Structure 1
Amino acid sequence: MRKLTYFIATTVDGFIGAPDGDGDFFYSHLDAEFVEHLKAEYPETIAAQGRAQLGIADAPPKRFDAVLMGRATYEPGLKAGMTSPYGHLPEQYVVSRSLTTPPDPQVRLISGDLPARVRELKARDGLGIWLCGGADLATQLIDEIDEFVVKTYPVFAGTGMPMSRAGFGVRPLELTGVTTLGGGQIVSTYRRRR
């Protein structure tokens, strides 16, 4: 059975974007060591344009063969002409109530009972499913998330878009790995205790 992994960038105080959702400020905190770590451990999470620039366009998926993102996460790339940002993955899903036809043949749309659809995807054979974002999607799928990979950047935002809006609830996690990088980034992996 596949697992759903929320692989997300966050500030030290737990925000994944500015109040309007923009996360571009994270790019100013990328350094060579961090990029090399992503290339080596999570190459499939780098969008097609970045993969080409980094010389890993043909790198096979290592952990995920599917990506699930909300329309708001998908929209900036779409506006820039990237209709299939993760075309190197066999499955790309965009959750949307407003899109009625996929902007690209490689992108599949999901609407309706999202948790039930994700359970169907998890029941398939394959690598994992990467929950790319954002906060609203993580809120809807909080009970389906099996693993959290949190890339904490050395920045304090004060306010912004939280990792989730699921509301208070104690959801036990088990720390399964920590990688500290020279630029101050910390990649922490947690498994959901069921």
Structure 2
Amino acid sequence: MTRKVIFYGAISLDGFLAREDQQLDWLFETPGGEETAYDEFIQQIDTTIMGRTTYEDVLSKYSGPEFMYRDKRNYVFSHSLLGQTPAEPSVTYVAGDIVPFIKELKQEEGSGIWLVGGGALIRPLIEENLIDEWYIQIAPVILGKGVPLFFASQADLRLELVAVNRYQQFVEMHYRKRST
């Protein structure tokens, strides 16, 4: 059995992960974020995948003993960081094509693989239909511009709705890849 690749994250109503300057104030100011099923979700995964910008944002808030994913295997895709020693011992820097990397990772022993972000990292995985589940929390905020979750793509995927949950002002949609 192969491991699942899962996207779990929040977006604005118009589909942005963050403001253009990477700020998430709109997210943290929306009531209900602390009530999501994050604690349950994080127990299902043992690996995180993120881009350099997301990693640097996480490090700026939670470095050292507070590093959020210390008990996980963490892979950061970045050409500019390759060759450097990660600030966190549980982090490995990776460069190159994410698609074969994910295909190989799915075949290894372990539990879920969390795509922490961002949209540019996720696009090739969408195009190859490698994301098994989606947990998308939507905040009732329209940003107008920012960092999109979905970039233009050649993909035409159909998903199956698993559940919809409400956490105060957030709605969470859980989708999974359709069986073919």
Q: TM bucket by the smaller chain?
A: 0.7 to 0.9
| 1:125 matches 2:109 | yes
TM-score normalized by the length of structure 1:
0.80
The match for 1:189 among 170, 174, 180 is 174
Identity %: 34
The AA in structure 1 aligned to 2:10 is A
Distance in 2, Cα, partners of 1:147 & 1:94: 20
Distance in 2, Cα, partners of 1:124 & 1:132: 19
The AA in structure 2 aligned to 1:180 is R
| 1:82 matches 2:82 | no
Query: Shift of residue 39 of structure 1?
Result: 5.1
Q: State how many pairs are aligned.
A: 172
Query: Shift of residue 128 of structure 1?
Result: 0.5
Which protein has the bigger strand share?
Answer: 2
Any conservation in 2 of the 1:140–1:166 contact (CA below 8 Å)?
Answer: no
Q: Which residue of 2 aligns with 1:48?
A: none
Residues 113-165 of structure 1: CA deviation (Å, up to 9, x unaligned): 21101111111122110000011111132222111110111212222221121
Runs (5+) with no aligned partner, structure 1: 45-61
Residues 4-52 of structure 1: CA deviation (Å, up to 9, x unaligned): 1111111111111112333232011143xx423335433x3xxxxxxxx
SS in 1 for 2:37: helix
Structure 1 segment 11-160 matched on structure 2, within 5 A: 11-31=12-32, 34-38=33-37, 40-42=39-41, 44=42, 62-80=43-61, 82=63, 84-89=67-72, 91-99=73-81, 100-101=83-84, 102-142=86-126, 143=128, 144-160=130-146
The match for 2:160 among 162, 174, 178 is 174
- 1:40/1:107 CA distance change after superposition, 3 Å: closer
Any conservation in 1 of the 2:62–2:68 contact (CA below 8 Å)?
Answer: no
SS in 1 for 2:89: coil
Distance in 2, Cα, partners of 1:123 & 1:137: 20
Any conservation in 1 of the 2:71–2:90 contact (CA below 8 Å)?
Answer: no
Residues 54-105 of structure 1: CA deviation (Å, up to 9, x unaligned): xxxxxxxx2111111100101123345716431022x111111111222222
TM-score normalized by the length of structure 2:
0.85
- 1:39/1:68 CA distance change after superposition, 3 Å: closer
Runs (5+) with no aligned partner, structure 2: none
Any conservation in 1 of the 2:26–2:141 contact (CA below 8 Å)?
Answer: no
Any conservation in 2 of the 1:4–1:130 contact (CA below 8 Å)?
Answer: yes
